[in-house]
Amino acid sequence: MKSQVTTKKGDLGTTRTLAGDVLSKADPVIECSGWLDALRAHIALLRLNILQQTPEDHEQLADFLLWLLHCFFLIGAEVNDPSKKKPKFRYDIISPKHLEKLETEQRRLEDKVRLPHAFIVSAATELAAEADVATTAARTFERSLVRLKEAVPEFEAAALLAFMNRLSDYLFILARHLDAGHYHIVDYSRLDRE
């Protein structure tokens, strides 16, 4: 029986992009696509746990995270074809309207959060910790996106870079919102204890 997923075409360390190019799996296009997959998986897990643990309080959060998951498919098409060889595969691109929606949701949460005047050493809840992991995944993807832009100068990445920079801010604020006002701040005096 033929597999639905296994083609064996990548057995030698190459893969085909959306544009049809066969690239090494270490190519910046493929690396960037992989970090995007990791980010998407982290946010999908966070969303599911939000729904399972506190569905009545966090439906709006879960809906917004589902919107983000859809945005990642737009981003994936841009990243996987940075030279726009196959524009027919792009349903849409990340634009100022997406950035505005992201910033609006960040402001909504930020209005509810009072950050301490200190570094936060750890999340206070499991959901906040998951959001912190998603934040680091967003920052890793953003760095990979910058490397891709440097490798493919014609890649029009300005809107994506702004969106990703803001996304890590949003995820940090989401984590603090999920901390529910309980913060574990850095206490350097703990380093002096035996």
- Note the residue count of the chain: 194
Q: Residues 6 or more apart from 141 whose CB is under 8 A from it?
A: 32, 35, 36, 38, 39, 164
- Which pTM value belongs to this model? 0.88
Task: Give residue 140's pLDDT.
Answer: 97
Tell me the one-letter amino acid at 58. H
How confident is the model over 160-170, as a mean pLDDT? 97
Domains of the chain: 14-192 (1.20.1200.10)
Give per-residue pLDDT as tens, 3-56.
777 677 666 687 776 777 776 777 888 899 999 999 999 999 999 999 998 767
Give per-residue pLDDT as tens, 142-158.
999 999 999 999 999 99
